[in-house]
Structure 1
């Protein structure tokens, strides 16, 4: 929440609205992308998406495929479509997967569709089906590409150091692609080469520690589940922020009076005592660090 009490999305939208109405951003000029807004104003991707959606609904900006968001009012010359001499053409599988990932990263899996990806690529929706069978196959390809980005170094000799490296790398990957944790299944795992490489690395670290196969595999799944479970909140928070225009801190601040009224009857003394005795910040990164260290300590104590 800014000093004037306005949500971050409203504050940034007001700044861009002022620049448009003042003529600083002329008709046809490109408006900062969601990523540019994130970097410049220090807000979440969901907040940046909310800003552009608000301005679009107000008729101040419009989206031009292949260009991005521009100030409404003047035609924009679209760049020529790039053609490739390769058999895949400009709409190869890699390009489609990359476009789908951009959509999911910015807007969540709910926004992913073949038509939406086609618009991102400035292509006819049916042209995508020559390269990707359907949305389900596209999602699998996106998942594999995303999990393959998880970078792991040469395995260390110490199993605890290895598990910590793997957990941090996975958390970083989930932070980069908030839709990925919900897409991955633990009980019915998708056959993804990238996920297999990750598991191979972790299992190698634990096997070299001399653990039996059952303990090795169960430990791997336990750490993976911890990271994935906490990361499930990343997309949920992004969706909530986009819908409300409020960050989690701003939302919590708005609930203080309601929470005080809820516990005023004195029936929850432990809850009241704990919350009144600390200044708690719902920081998922801090919660990840806290949980990871205690999980590893527990594994070490029983291993």
Structure 2
């Protein structure tokens, strides 16, 4: 059996891994493994991307929390997302007419579709459209969407300030559209987290919550939701999404996200409030 430890100062050690596929594609090197108790494990360029057993802790709030502020979203764009988890969550909505995914690695898509039944189901859904290419270039003229989910970029550190990635994303949002972006660095990276808060404070709607993502170094990450939708607020307690409200009677629909209790998903602990004055001074917490 194999083991994996990411070269980062706060990563986790995974043991009892069995190799399923290792590839070096045109754009990256990746490996897919099966853990003895946690299911599929994806590693890309030496970085742990996801652990199947924990996937709902990230993908459910990243996908469903931004849509809690919209009654009937019609289309969505996923940047990255080659494991198809985000696309699967978005396609749960009957109002969703189109889900587009920008993924730069066709070989990863192929391997994921061979391993994951949900990936095959997404690819077979007529509402889904896969675009193979560099999302950094494609997003420059992507059209308009009710929600854009960033599942690949570090918006703060992957883009120069003059590239204005927040402005580019905003230009691709519908009048009620929002972006869902988990800050790539953990919350203890004060500079990155503070800058992410400052960048989103310029938008009409904005909110943030704390995510626990055990496979990522540092584990605790800030989920930011921002855009043109003025319904987005730190103080919203309950979803207004019609389908999410219908799910309340179906306890098996979701494993983690609860549309009855947005206060939980939007909770920011005292250490975050105290550490980042931008949260207090720009009224994000008082909207």
Q: Which has the larger radius of gyration?
A: 1
Smaller-chain TM-score range? under 0.3
**TM-score, scaled to structure 2:** 0.27
* Structure with a larger share of its residues in helix: 1
* Structure with a larger share of its residues in strand: 2
**TM-score, scaled to structure 1:** 0.26
